[in-house]
Amino acid sequence: MSMDKDCANTKFSGFFRQVRGMMSEKELILVLSIVVGIACGLAAVVLKLAIEFIHGGITSWFDGAAYNYLYLLYPGIGMLLAMLFVRYVIKDNIGHGVTKVLLAVSKNESRIRPHNMWSSILASSVTIGFGGSVGAEAPIVYTGAAIGSNIARKMGLSYKNMTILLGCGAAGAVAGIFKAPLAGVLFTLEILLFNISMTSILPLLMSTVSATVISYLFLGDSLPFECTLSPFTMHNIPFYVLLGLFCALCSVYFTRTTLWLEDKIKSIVNPFGRWGISALCLGLLIFLFPPLYGEGYEYISILLNGGNIDLDGETVLAFFMHHKWSVPVFFLLILLLKVFSMSFTNAGGGVGGTFGPTLFVGAIAGFVLSRTFNLIFAGTSISVPEQNFVLVGMAGLMAGVMQAPMTAIFLIAEISGGYELLVPLILTSTISFGATRTVEPYSIYTKRIAKKGELLTHDSDQAVLTLLRTSDLIESDFTTVKIDATLGELVDAISASTRNIFPVIDSKNHFQGYVSLEDVRRDMFKKELYDKMHVYNYMKSSPAYVIADEKMDSVMKKFEKTDAWNLPVVDSERTYLGFVSKSKIFSAYRDRLKQVSHD
């Protein structure tokens, strides 16, 4: 069996080498971008159909008030199944897919494990199908990125081209799940922060178009959010400005509450205890507020088409909905609690993303604000189109939470056909993005990894420094000397070394300082001093230390502050490991810059 497997792998490797040899690198990337796009489109179709199949299978046999009580059970069951699958089958953390893609580029040379090509689909379809209050978009982005990464690795492509195909996979995934090719490209360029030049956009476009075609073929030609909109009128501009500010406020709340709450829940060490608490809290929230069940897209569609959401018989709070002011208050509670239901799902063991909940909260924000305006100005000539505000609110919150105004504008326009609202989409998204950015410099995807110094940006210098690892640049060919060694022993070490710096260590190999050739040159030929003088007579203290896993931008700041050319590298216990030099860093910087630069 093993020989047959090795033979098959050899045949596949030979096939890939033959294909690669038939065309230039640029031609190969274009062909592979189409292959990646088709695969991502199929993955998106499978995920959407799987969620619908599971949801239909568990809800088709009951109706009425019984629906409420099963809300208490179903989401927890889905979370448990996903947690058991991840914990005992995959044995890998596959949550927060977009953040994982960013880390793969910055820390793992754009390599993503092969199981991510299918594991996120399976875990998220169970989570969402059973009612987990998360989105399917982040898991499919992780899946698409994994498809692109693994195809590139099979073809033996460089880091630069592997990153391009990884981006093609992410872009194709967004395009496939939303039928939005332009938004897929913008998502990769804007949210994933790849340093991709204009000439590399062609593969992204080929991938997104391929994925979109596949999605149309299998899911039909209807838009994800078909809606009834009112024409844009100039007198509503002040209201859209206020919507932008409201979306910024909601974005800061969304981001900070999500990260804080997830950290709090994950501080519960026992995974089954964490699941139990999260499942109970999530079930209660959905029991009281049914729109929190699953992605909630059906409620968005109702609001986009001007319908009334009737919750009679579905929640014990339905009586609360019959007063005119109770409606915006009820949905304001849903807006605030969606963050909690999403965090309980993700932290409790489920697998899903924040992309879908961002769209949901944005739609609710637009509805709450517009309904409030209409109630305040009831009986006057002022009327705000609620459907328009629901749609524009989706873009506004996405621009704030994801710090991606261009993606927000064109995604919402593409998934709804609402290009006639391009002006308010741009206005609200820009205000939301700008106002949020003054308070929160990072998106919900990048905040944690930015604090750790692991975030790639469009700044080439910063991107290269992020990619460089201190541990890879340690020079260990320096001859060490003991602190109590004699001058004669030091001279012997000098004669056997090709370097002019000699690290000084104690009996436990802890770094104490260093001796340079210049410091001992005048005494090294005086044999009468060989037994009288010792290493500690010539030793100097280092102006700074570098820790083995220290971020490169921190290392460069130490070089700049000390004006040193070499700095010692130690571990957390100050055990000597070697030296790192400016010249080695500059050489590695140039090499890495060539790898990340795109022609």
User: Across residues 274-297, what is the average pLDDT?
Assistant: 92
Distance of alpha carbon 307 from alpha carbon 391, whole angstroms:
14
Q: 426 vs 329, 334, 594, CA distance in Å?
A: 28, 26, 36
Strand partners, 575: 510
Cα separation of 97 and 445, whole Å?
A: 9
In eight-state DSSP terms, residue 421 is: G
- Give the number of other CB atoms < 10 A from CB of residue 234: 7
pLDDT in tens, 411-438: 999 999 888 999 999 999 999 999 999 9
Enter the tokens of residue 173.
């995934």
* In the block, residue with structure tokens 């930015």: 450
The closest alpha carbon to 174, from 362, 49, 298, 41, belongs to 41
Tokens describing residue 374: 């209409």
Strand bridging mode 566-570 / 576-581: antiparallel
Instruction: Name the band, by pLDDT with cuts 50, 70 and 90, for residue 475.
Output: confident
**Amino acid identity of 59?**
T
At which residue do the structure tokens 């189109």 appear?
Answer: 385
Q: Across the chain, what does the average pLDDT equal?
A: 85
Among candidate residues 305, 415, 419, 404, the one with its CA nearest the CA of residue 354: 404
Q: Is the pLDDT of residue 598 over 90?
A: no
* Token output for 537: 């007579």
- Burial annotation 255-279 (CB, 10 A radius, 16+ → b, else e): beebeebbeebeebeeeeebbbbbb
- Of 60-69, 230-239, 328-337, the range with the lowest mean pLDDT is 60-69
**Sheet strand arrangement including 566-570:** 546-547, 566-570, 576-581
User: For the packed helices 271-288 and 237-266, what is the interaxial angle rounded to 10 degrees?
Assistant: 150
Please give the helix or strand (H or E) that residue 505 lies within, else none. Answer: strand 501-505
Segment 527-536 shows an average pLDDT of 84
Report pLDDT for 66. 47
Average pLDDT over every residue of 444-450: 82
468, 588 contact by CB (below 8 A): yes
Residue 480, pLDDT score: 87
pLDDT at 599: 44
The mean-pLDDT minimum among 246-260, 459-473, 480-494, 571-585 falls in 459-473
How far apart are alpha carbons 456 and 123 in whole angstroms? 28
What percent of the chain lies above the pLDDT cut of 70? 89
Most confidently modeled of 102-111, 361-370, 507-516?
361-370
Residue 109 pLDDT more than 60? Answer: yes
Q: What is the pLDDT of residue 589?
A: 65
Alpha-carbon gap, residue 300 to 586, rounded angstroms = 53
State in words which class domain 464-596 has. alpha beta
Give residue-wise pLDDT tens across range 14-45. 555 666 666 777 788 899 999 999 999 999 99
pLDDT at 214: 96
pLDDT at residue 564 greater than cutoff 50 = yes
| pLDDT at 7 (0 to 100) | 52
- The Cα 50–Cα 575 span in angstroms is 53
Top mean-pLDDT range of 12-26, 230-244, 461-475, 523-537: 230-244
The answer to whether 179 and 215 are in contact (CB under 8 A) is yes
Task: Point out the least confidently predicted range of 12-21, 29-38, 85-94, 560-569.
Answer: 12-21
SS3 state at 142 = helix
Question: What confidence tens digit (pLDDT) does each residue in 123-145 have?
Answer: 999 999 999 999 998 999 999 99
The pLDDT score that the predictor gives to residue 197 is 63
CA distance 91 to 16: 30
Supply the DSSP symbol for 199: G
Q: Which CATH architecture has domain 234-453?
A: Orthogonal Bundle (1.10)
Sign of the dihedral defined by the CA atoms of residues 515, 520, 524, 528, in that order? negative
What is the third-level CATH fold of 17-219?
A: Clc chloride channel (1.10.3080)
In this prediction, residues 174-201 reach a mean pLDDT of: 83
Strand-pair partners of 223? none
- DSSP annotation of 64 reads T
Enumerate the CATH 1.10.3080.10 domain ranges in the chain, comma separated.
Answer: 17-219, 234-453
Decide if 193 contacts 455 (C-beta within 8 A): yes
* 216-262 pLDDT, tens digit each: 999 998 888 888 888 888 999 999 999 999 999 999 999 999 999 99
Question: Where, residue-wise, is CATH 3.10.580.10 in the chain?
Answer: 464-596
pLDDT class of 552 with cuts at 50, 70, 90: confident
DSSP characters over 433-467: HHHHHHH-SS-TTTHHHHHTT----S-HHHHHHHH
Residue 83, classed as helix, strand or coil, is helix
Residue with tokens 């693994």: 150
pLDDT-derived band of residue 548, with 50, 70 and 90 as boundaries?
confident
C-alpha gyration radius of the chain:
29
Pair type for strands 501-505 and 566-570: unpaired
pTM (whole model) above 0.75: yes
Which of 576, 579, 565 has the alpha carbon at shortest distance from 473?
A: 579
